[in-house]
Amino acid sequence: MSCKTTATNIFVLMTNQFYINQYKKLTLIIFTICAVGLIIFTCAQTFFANSYLFNFRTELKTLPKLEEIKHEDYSIRPKIRHRFHRYPHTSRYLPQCIIIGVRKGGTGALIHFLDIHPNIAIASTEVHFFDNNYKRGLNWYRKRMPYSFPNQITIEKTPAYFVKKHVPESVKKMNQSIKLLLIVREPVERTISDYTQIWGKLVRNSSYPTFEELAIDPATKMVNPSFAATERSLYDKHMANWLKYFNLSQIHIVDGDNFRRNPFQEIVEIEKFLHLEHKISEKDYYFDPDKKFYCIKGFINRCLPDSKGRQHVKVQDYVKTKLRKFFRPHNEMFFKMISRRFENW
């Protein structure tokens, strides 16, 4: 509660109290003393908190040094954010860049890597504005964004955007020159990973159909193209929809398979795409052999949650082969659209 609201509330309370206790002056005096004490206490707290942050900021003077807050106090930063809401001179802005997909492509890891950059501010959750909450309006969307400095880029990620038909048009309506990031990976593995997540959510429900039962039509023994996980891997279909509304130059494609092995190679390209100085580098990370991925070095080391990088369900080779063959023409179309190839797909 801010100082102002506390003071107003106490003033209202006091006035009420005054009428009730018109003749009980002593009560009023005691009450007033307590109230004034409380006001002074809350105001002092707010004042010290603000001046602490303000000094913190002025000491830092230039934004690049904000990096140090991000690095050294990485663990306390979210708490500061919640407790005091914001640093001075910050506002909530609509995102200037959106990670649109793909689901299970590594969007979570990607946005957390980008968060290390001093000129990037990320939304802390998937907002699902364009797919599920569009009717709530842009102001609702903006309020879901973090407070940021004017020279920071606000980024949101909702991987469902990539596959939802009406999303690109709505994104364009908001900002036709917005920058989009799309992280893709080999479609067969993505499909299996997609299924693994659903299956994992059903607590390894043994009566849930196996991957084979869903991916392959039992009557025809052909790939079932309407299985949702397979459909989401038809990158050509979804990309065509985005390219109806955006220039390819606005969509930076991240190689998700390379991102797993060499995240920093991919990050440098994103920094260039966003016209940001190169800041995110290997020295801020260490490789965690258990998680098989990079974690952020810091006062408290930060890794992705354990649900990430979970073991895939076992899928028989003949099913994978069928899927690979099924996706091949779609991949070729996709490569043509983006003027780039991914080997080993």
Ligand X SMILES: *[C@@H]1O[C@H](CO)[C@@H](O)[C@H](O)[C@H]1NC(C)=O
Strand boundaries in the chain, DSSP class E: 91-92, 97-101, 120-122, 147-148, 153-157, 179-184, 251-255, 285-288, 293-296
Output the smallest distance, CB 174 to ligand X, in A. Answer: 8
Toward ligand X, which CB reaches closer, 178 or 337?
Answer: 178
The verdict on 339 binding ligand X (CB under 6 A) reads no
Among 46, 50, 90, 175, binds ligand X (CB under 6 A): 175
Among 97, 100, 114, 239, binds ligand X (CB under 6 A): 97
Cα separation, 242 vs 180, in Å, equals: 10
Output the smallest distance, CB 52 to ligand X, in A. Answer: 31
Contacts of 296 (CB under 8 A, 6+ apart): 74, 112, 116, 284, 285, 302, 303
Cα separation, 321 vs 331, in Å, equals: 15
Instruction: Tell me if 312 is assigned to a ligand binding site.
Output: yes
Toward ligand X, which CB reaches closer, 145 or 323?
Answer: 145
Output the smallest distance, CB 336 to ligand X, in A. Answer: 18
Q: β-pairing, 153-157 with 97-101?
A: parallel
Toward ligand X, which CB reaches closer, 202 or 300?
Answer: 202
- Is residue 87 a contact partner of residue 148, using CB atoms and an 8 Å limit? no
Instruction: Please name which of 150, 160, 185 lies closest in space to residue 99, comparing C-alpha atoms.
Output: 160
Output the smallest distance, CB 298 to ligand X, in A. Answer: 29
Range in contact with ligand X (rule: CB under 6 A) among 79-87, 91-99, 115-123, 156-164: 91-99
The verdict on 39 binding ligand X (CB under 6 A) reads no
Among 27, 151, 205, 258, binds ligand X (CB under 6 A): 205
Cα separation, 295 vs 109, in Å, equals: 10
Among 22, 62, 247, 344, binds ligand X (CB under 6 A): 247
3-state secondary structure string across 215-279: HECCCCCCECCCCHHHHCCCHHHHHHHHHCCCCHHHEEEEEHHHHHHCHHHHHHHHHHHCCCCCC
The verdict on 94 binding ligand X (CB under 6 A) reads yes
Instruction: Tell me if 309 is assigned to a ligand binding site.
Output: yes
Instruction: Tell me if 310 is assigned to a ligand binding site.
Output: yes
Among 104, 157, 179, 238, binds ligand X (CB under 6 A): 179
Instruction: Please name which of 99, 88, 130, 131 lies closest in space to residue 259, comparing C-alpha atoms.
Output: 99
Among 33, 138, 202, 240, binds ligand X (CB under 6 A): 202
| Active-site entry in 70, 104, 164, 322 | 104
Contacts of 265 (CB under 8 A, 6+ apart): 258
Output the smallest distance, CB 146 to ligand X, in A. Answer: 15
Instruction: Tell me if 308 is assigned to a ligand binding site.
Output: yes
Cα separation, 137 vs 148, in Å, equals: 20
Whether residue 104 lies in the annotated active site: yes
- Is residue 226 a contact partner of residue 269, using CB atoms and an 8 Å limit? no
The verdict on 176 binding ligand X (CB under 6 A) reads yes
Residue tagged 């793909």 (tokens): 102
Residues annotated within the binding site for 3'-phosphoadenylyl sulfate are: 185, 193, 294, 308-312
Q: Which residues carry out catalysis?
A: 104
Given the rule CB under 6 A, which residues bind ligand X? 94, 96-97, 175-179, 202, 205, 207-208, 247
Residue numbers belonging to the annotated binding site: 185, 193, 294, 308-312
